[in-house]
Every structure is written in structure tokens, then in C-alpha cells.
């Protein structure tokens, strides 16, 4: 079904990107999942084809398109189960910090090579003891002359092994009251002395993503690596970008739901029990009818938010609603579809088992679903 938010130009691009995914991405997905990391060659191919800068200005090598082109990339990669290729993190989460808050020099040094695929980006928020409580991060970036000296540890950092530069959430003022006023964002190159990568963490899902520990020990970074004109703006900068981050998750969740559902529809038409395809049993029909309805409802809501976001509207409450609702839906769809596969759903050779494991983290990162509900409640005047 044609979705009204996409123009003919968008749909032509979708077909182009689908072909790229079929030839350049899907053949590598199983290997990435086995190795726990993607290869730089594919990232570079993405950059060479212009897929890493669709929504970035032409003056830095981008295509100057709207966010809907990026949404198409997210959808097609999620549908292909290519979760290992974390382009939404690199393009739609990290790049906007550089575009919105970076100096001209920072954009030339980091944004331009990020668009070409020569500089992979990560953002380091979470710490072992803080989780979603960013106001109380323990990583310090204290000024010493014309440098910051960074000390601390981060964990669960996506692109942690592959990244060439990290946007680090750190305290530049340990005495600030309230604490969030002491937070700044610092760009740290991966080849800086004092920066080191820890383990590539082993996860139950999203196995192809390199999710890592990062350590900073007396890591000296020039003060010109501060994002923004002055210190203490980090919390505000983070809040400004979270709308898009949470919308990205909703986009990917619905696309993943569609893949689980489509594969299960094919399976129940072929799998037989008691002399007939299991798709002919009323329970199977009712379950899939319910899931298909819920996915369509979720798609309409996400499309509405995509249109509003492209139009520049402030939709913090709505993307918080979408983030928790679509990720809960993804977990529910994966679980119900696995159940309809029976014992085969529990076997790793059937992709629905990966869908089930991959869905688990969706309600946790980018702010837990409990945090989403707190945000919604506050904006309803309840706290």
C-alpha cells in the first residue's frame, strides 16, 4: 500500500536502495552476526553511494534531502534484518549534533568524512552506574590550559569498536547546581592517547552490532573539540536531539514487525498439522489478523510523526508515545510469531528466533519505556 508521506522521488530512491541492500548488505548479515561486528568496506560503500548523507547539506557532501530519505534507509535495513549496520546511529543521531552545534572547523574535520564513510561516529552517554540518569554522569572533562583532561568509563556504546570519533557526555563543571548544568559534549578521536576500547560486549540480540565499553584515562583533548559555543550546554543539546532519536526507533520497530509478520504468514501457509496448513486454523487466523491490525495502526502513527518532524514541529510527547508503544508492539509481534512457528521458532536457523532476541532491547535503550511514560505524564501536567 502506497504511503502518502512519500513522494514519487522517495519511492524511486527506495527501489534503488533495496537493490543496494540485496547485493551489498544482505549477503553479509549472517557473517556480521557471527563475528559481532560489521566491516568497514560496507560502510565505505554506503558513503560512496551517498547513503550516509541523504539529509545533510550539500556544502558538506550530503544530498540535501529531507529526513524521509533517511527513514527509508532505516526501514529497508530493518526489514532486511541488517541491524548490525547502525546507520541510524551514525547518520540520524550523531551527525545532527555536529550539524547543529559543531563549529565550521568541526564540520570539516568530522562531518564531511562521516558522510563519505571514512569517519564512523558513536555517542557515549551510558555509564556502568548511571543508566538513563545522565545528569549524574561520572565521566569528567576538566580544563587544563587549552585542553580538557577526560577521565571515566562508558558502557553499552554502539559502534564502540568501529568508531573513529566519539561524542562524549561528560561533566565539565563538577560543582554545578543543578548537576545537569555542568554537562558538556566533547568530541574525542579514537586515536587520542588515553582513550581505549574495552570488550565487544556479547548480547542476546543484535549480535552483529559492536557494542562496547570505552575508557578514558587522562585523555587530553583540545578545547576546540567542545561541541557548542560554551560549556554546560550538553543537557540542552541532548534534549534537542532526542526527538529524532526516538522517532528513529519507532520507524525501525514497525519495519521489523512487518518482516516478522510477513515471514510468519508464509510459514503458516506451508507448515501442516493435522492434515492441513496451520494457517487454516482459527486461532492462527485470529492471531495474525490482530497483529496485522496493530502493525497498520502503528505505521499510521509513525507516518504522522514523520510528517510532523519533517515539518519542524515539536512532538516530544508523541515520539515518546511512539517509542514505547512501537517497541512493546515489536516484542509482542516477535513473541506471537515465534509461537506460531512452534518448536522451529526456537531454532536459530529460523530468523524469527533472532527477531525475538533483537526485540528485547528496544524497550530499554534511548530511554527506557518507563522513562518515556514519565515524560508523557509530565507533559500531561501530572508531575
Q: Residue 86 is part of a domain; what is its CATH number?
A: 1.10.540.10
Report the pLDDT value the prediction gives residue 129, as an integer from 0 to 100. 79
Question: Looking at residue 299, what is its pLDDT?
Answer: 98
- Is 2 domain-assigned? no
Asked which of 230, 247, 271 is the last residue of a domain, the reply is 230
pLDDT of residue 3: 87
219: left (phi over 0), alpha (psi -120 to 50) or beta: beta
Helices (H), 102-171: 104-106, 112-116
Reported residue count of the chain is 383
**Do 242 and 338 fall within a single domain?**
yes
Contact 38, 208 (CB under 8 A): yes
Mark which of 182, 213, 230 sits at the end of a domain: 230
Instruction: Examine residue 250 and state whether it is found in any structural domain, yes or no.
Output: yes
Neighbours of 239 (CB within 10 A): 12
Domain boundary residue, one of 170, 201, 230: 230
Cβ contacts of 26 within 8 Å, gap of 6 or more: 80, 82
Cell numbers for 167, please give them. Answer: 561524542
Asked, for residue 1, whether it belongs to a domain, the answer is: no
Catalytic residue among 75, 76, 127, 245: 245
Instruction: Provide the residue range defining the domain that includes 189.
Output: 123-230
128 and 105 both lie in a single domain: no
Q: Is residue 3 part of a domain?
A: no
pLDDT in tens, the chain (383 residues): 678 999 999 999 999 999 999 999 999 999 999 999 999 999 999 999 999 999 999 999 999 999 999 999 999 999 999 999 999 999 999 999 999 999 999 999 999 999 999 999 999 999 997 766 777 899 999 999 999 999 999 999 999 999 999 999 999 999 888 888 999 999 999 999 999 999 999 999 999 999 999 999 999 999 999 999 899 999 999 988 999 999 999 999 999 999 999 999 999 999 999 999 999 999 999 999 999 999 999 999 999 999 999 999 999 999 999 999 999 999 999 999 999 999 999 999 999 999 999 999 999 998 899 999 999 999 999 97
Residue 226 shares a structural domain with residue 159: yes
The reply to whether 245 belongs to the active site is yes
Count of structural domains, the chain: 3
Q: In terms of domains, do 108 and 189 share one?
A: no
Amino acid at each position: 500500500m502506497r504511503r502518502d508521506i512519500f513522494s514519487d522521488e522517495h519511492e524511486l530512491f527506495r527501489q534503488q536502495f533495496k537493490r543496494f541492500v540485496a547485493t551489498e548488505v544482505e549477503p553479509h548479515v549472517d557473517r556480521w552476526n557471527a563475528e559481532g561486528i560489521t566491516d568497514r568496506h560496507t560502510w565505505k560503500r554506503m558513503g560512496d553511494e551517498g547513503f550516509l548523507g541523504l539529509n545533510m547539506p550539500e556544502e558538506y557532501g550530503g544530498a540535501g534531502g529531507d529526513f524521509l530519505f533517511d527513514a527509508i534507509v532505516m526501514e529497508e535495513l530493518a526489514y532486511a534484518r541488517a541491524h548490525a549496520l547502525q546507520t541510524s546511529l551514525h547518520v540520524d543521531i550523531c551527525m545532527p549534533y555536529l550539524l547543529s552545534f559543531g563549529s565550521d572547523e568541526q564540520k570539516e574535520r568530522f562531518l564531511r568524512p562521516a558522510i563519505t564513510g571514512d569517519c564512523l561516529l558513536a555517542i557515549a552517554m551510558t555509564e556502568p552506574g548511571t543508566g538513563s540518569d545522565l545528569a549524574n554522569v561520572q565521566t569528567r572533562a576538566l580544563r587544563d590550559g587549552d585542553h580538557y583532561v577526560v577521565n571515566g568509563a562508558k558502557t553499552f556504546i554502539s559502534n564502540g569498536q568501529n568508531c573513529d570519533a566519539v561524542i562524549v557526555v561528560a561533566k565539565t563543571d563538577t560543582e554545578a547546581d543543578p548537576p545537569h548544568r555542568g554537562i558538556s559534549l566533547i568530541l574525542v578521536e579514537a586515536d587520542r592517547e588515553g582513550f581505549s576500547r574495552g570488550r565487544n560486549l556479547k548480547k542476546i540480540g543484535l549480535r552483529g552490532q559492536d557494542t562496547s565499553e570505552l575508557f578514558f584515562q587522562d585523555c587530553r583533548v583540545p578545547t576546540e573539540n567542545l561541541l557548542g559555543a560554551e560549556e554546560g550546554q550538553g543537557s540542552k543539546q541532548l534534549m534537542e536531539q532526542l526527538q529524532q532519536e526516538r522517532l528513529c526507533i519507532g520507524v525501525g520497530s514497525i519495519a521489523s514487525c512487518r518482516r516478522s509478520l510477513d515471514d510468519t504468514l508464509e510459514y503458516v501457509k506451508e507448515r501442516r498439522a493435522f492434515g492441513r496448513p496451520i494457517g487454516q486454523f482459527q486461532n492462527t487466523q485470529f492471531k495474525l489478523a490482530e497483529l496485522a491490525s496493530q502493525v497498520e495502526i502503528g505505521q499510521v502513527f509513525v507516518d504522522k510523526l514523520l510528517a510532523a518532524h519533517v515539518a519542524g514541529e515539536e512532538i516530544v510527547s508523541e515520539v515518546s508515545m511512539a517509542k514505547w508503544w512501537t517497541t512493546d508492539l515489536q516484542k509482542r509481534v516477535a513473541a506471537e510469531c515465534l509461537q506460531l512457528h512452534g518448536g522451529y521458532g526456537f531454532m536459530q536457523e529460523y530468523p524469527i528466533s533472532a527477531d525475538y532476541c533483537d526485540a528485547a532491547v528496544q524497550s530499554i535503550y534511548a530511554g527506557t519505556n518507563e522513562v518515556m511514560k514519565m515524560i508523557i505524564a509530565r507533559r500531561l501536567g501530572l508531575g
